[in-house]
Chains A and B, each alone.
Chain A
């Protein structure tokens, strides 16, 4: 079952997040020689209201840098070099990178929140879970009588009992800790939640439970979710639309079911074909070469050194994302629309 068909109401309304031509580079200087790693190099996409948007890519594809840039969690040497990130709740005329520190602080948790990969690193290990709720959410919701009721109600929503509030993080299982960090990220009912590999550290059985819970929560709150993971199984299960990233750029974007059934970009086709499946006995070919070094990326299309369909043009020009069908975009010269 795919998330795309689960709810007809998904993805209605306008964009909550709009990223246009975003470039984020790591710039370092050692003994006078400058080095530039172009981890995100011209990425555009939008996340609509009430939708789960997936971003897939392998290590060093730039997906973590992309979400850092989107959330304005920038630290040197990472810099946003070009492009804009607009959020519906910040006013569409302003990029998040132009917002003041006070504006950003008001935004975080209330409007834009973040679920991180290692749930252990979110929770203070020497404080009871209750204190984490007070620290994070108390500030935004006000620590009055209604606060406790709201916390309990929200814990029930993510399938936890009130007893976890009195526990220390190490007393909880990995799945419960991840539920706690999801509860923390969503208690203020933010418009947009960014989740970075939310279930990677979990067991298969627990992973499925947490994903089910996450979907239920998102549908109930009608928030938007930007889900980033390298695990295509998770994307197939949860997301409404999916984009695939390679070498700092998006190469394909489509409704999730379409992308799995009819991948067009040679990289996406390879990625989907190389997924092992129970009951599938076909031999799988492997892709030659390794991912590009983003400090010295290949010219033109960054996939061309590994691409079975590479032409002369791919070495010279950068293919842009082009619609080949409504809602289906591909950045490849060898695929229809560019011919």
Chain B
């Protein structure tokens, strides 16, 4: 079966034109693929400067690789015609780091959702767009009444990030690329967003590329993990195995730097309703 996404020997470097002497290699010889048969959450972990955001932009088609190729369901992302490009934008949806910057502060939030529903969701008129939006919001635990006629500053970061996910869902994507989606959120909201990814994968069959520097949430959510250092993949494999017993010295260094708070005793666990 054709893989959903395949990267083969992808390189990306910046600079090095006529006036600049130094070329920066952001991504170096990266190859991996996501299976077309079963949805998967793939986590890409690295420190700042490791090239993880460049990799995300390559997958989203926002940058072209210097060498190598990326393909989505067998089609080369770099060679898309205008018509195919529109379809591609529907199939691969981004979620960005800072929900406060992702939305125009002067526009109502529902405007974005209706726009996406009409452009990518196949809604023919306003009523249909409204219906689709309501369904998408329900999937992320929000309701249209919470969002309608509201501006971004009226919602919390966690709500906005869930709204961003709802917007992505409207396009009926096969793949969501989430670049540090929870690093701006409070700890208690982080887990809610991250577990939502798991639900999207199991119930809607959407594959997710989760880009983060946080190994703990990576452990909880991911099926497979890729550790990136200076643009190169130093270790990859099953998330539980890699994080349970990292082999590469750099992976071990990353794991050692995670601050692990002691766990509560059984008697003092969170009470439930």
Q: Does B33 contact A (CB under 8 A)?
A: no
Q: Which residues of A contact B257 (CB under 8 A)?
A: 204-205, 207-208
Chain B 229-273 interface mask (CB, 8 Å, partner A; 1/0): 000000000000001100000000111011111111101111111
Is A308 a contact of B273 with CB atoms below 8 Å? yes
The residue from A205, A233, A274 contacting B188, defined by CB atoms under 8 A apart: A274
Q: Which residues of B contact A231 (CB under 8 A)?
A: 187, 259
The residue from B195, B213, B255 contacting A284, defined by CB atoms under 8 A apart: B195
Is A285 a contact of B272 with CB atoms below 8 Å? yes
The residue from B48, B158, B253, B262 contacting A261, defined by CB atoms under 8 A apart: B262
Q: Does A272 contact B (CB under 8 A)?
A: yes
Q: Which residues of A contact B215 (CB under 8 A)?
A: 204, 278
Q: Does B192 contact A (CB under 8 A)?
A: yes
The residue from A208, A272, A308, A309 contacting B261, defined by CB atoms under 8 A apart: A272
Q: Which residues of B contact A263 (CB under 8 A)?
A: 264, 268
Q: Which residues of B contact A152 (CB under 8 A)?
A: none
- Nearest A residue to B239 via CB reads A278
Is B259 a contact of A276 with CB atoms below 8 Å? no
Q: Does B159 contact A (CB under 8 A)?
A: yes
How many A-B residue pairs lie within 8 Å, measured between CB atoms?
A: 133
Q: Which residues of B contact A79 (CB under 8 A)?
A: none
Question: Interface size on B (CB < 8 Å)?
Answer: 43
Q: Which residues of B contact A232 (CB under 8 A)?
A: 187, 261
Q: Does B219 contact A (CB under 8 A)?
A: yes
Is A205 a contact of B253 with CB atoms below 8 Å? yes
Chain A 158-187 interface mask (CB, 8 Å, partner B; 1/0): 000000000000000010000000000000
Q: Does A98 contact B (CB under 8 A)?
A: no
Is B261 a contact of A275 with CB atoms below 8 Å? yes
Is A233 a contact of B219 with CB atoms below 8 Å? no
The residue from A266, A271, A273, A278 contacting B216, defined by CB atoms under 8 A apart: A278
Is B272 a contact of A203 with CB atoms below 8 Å? no
Q: Which residues of A contact B24 (CB under 8 A)?
A: none
Q: Does A220 contact B (CB under 8 A)?
A: no
Q: Does B104 contact A (CB under 8 A)?
A: no
Q: Which residues of A contact B213 (CB under 8 A)?
A: 203-204
Q: Does A280 contact B (CB under 8 A)?
A: yes
Q: A236-B260, A278-B216, A278-B255 are in contact. Are A230 and B192 (CB under 8 A)?
A: no
Is A269 a contact of B253 with CB atoms below 8 Å? no
A230, B216: Cα distance in complex, Å:
16
A243, B184: Cα distance in complex, Å:
22
The residue from A204, A284, A291 contacting B156, defined by CB atoms under 8 A apart: A291
Q: Does B7 contact A (CB under 8 A)?
A: no
Q: Does B125 contact A (CB under 8 A)?
A: no
Q: Does B220 contact A (CB under 8 A)?
A: yes
Q: Restricting to A291-335, which residues have a CB under 8 Å from any CB of B? A: 291, 308-309
The residue from B48, B192, B259, B263 contacting A233, defined by CB atoms under 8 A apart: B259
Q: Which residues of B contact A275 (CB under 8 A)?
A: 187, 216, 261
Point out which of A231, A266, A269, A285 has the most chain B C-beta atoms below 10 A from its C-beta: A285
A275, B264: Cα distance in complex, Å:
11
Q: Give the distance to chain B from A143, nearest Cβ to Cβ, in Å.
A: 37
Q: Restricting to A255-271, which residues have a CB under 8 Å from any CB of B? A: 257, 260-264, 266, 269-271
Q: Does B47 contact A (CB under 8 A)?
A: yes
- Nearest A residue to B141 via CB reads A286
- Nearest A residue to B155 via CB reads A290
- Nearest A residue to B221 via CB reads A276
Chain B 204-231 interface mask (CB, 8 Å, partner A; 1/0): 0000000001111101100000000000
Q: Does B61 contact A (CB under 8 A)?
A: no
Q: Which residues of B contact A234 (CB under 8 A)?
A: 259
Is A262 a contact of B261 with CB atoms below 8 Å? no
Q: Give the distance to chain B from A108, nearest Cβ to Cβ, in Å.
A: 31
A266, B273: Cα distance in complex, Å:
11
Is B192 a contact of A204 with CB atoms below 8 Å? no
Q: Give the distance to chain A from B263, nearest Cβ to Cβ, in Å.
A: 7
Is A278 a contact of B187 with CB atoms below 8 Å? no
B residues with CB within 8 A of A: 47-48, 156-159, 186-192, 194-195, 213-217, 219-220, 243-244, 253-255, 257-265, 267-273
A sample of 22 inter-chain contacts (CB < 8 A) reads A211-B259, A236-B260, A237-B259, A261-B262, A262-B264, A262-B267, A266-B270, A266-B271, A269-B269, A269-B271, A273-B269, A274-B191, A276-B190, A277-B216, A277-B260, A278-B258, A280-B263, A285-B270, A285-B272, A286-B191, A290-B159, A308-B272
A232-B187, A276-B190 are known contacts; what are 8 more A-B pairs with Cβ within 8 Å?
A204-B47, A236-B260, A260-B261, A261-B263, A273-B269, A279-B243, A280-B220, A280-B263
Q: Which 9 A-B pairs rank lowest in CB-CB distance, beginning with the nearest?
A: A233-B259, A236-B261, A273-B270, A58-B186, A276-B216, A308-B273, A204-B257, A203-B47, A260-B262
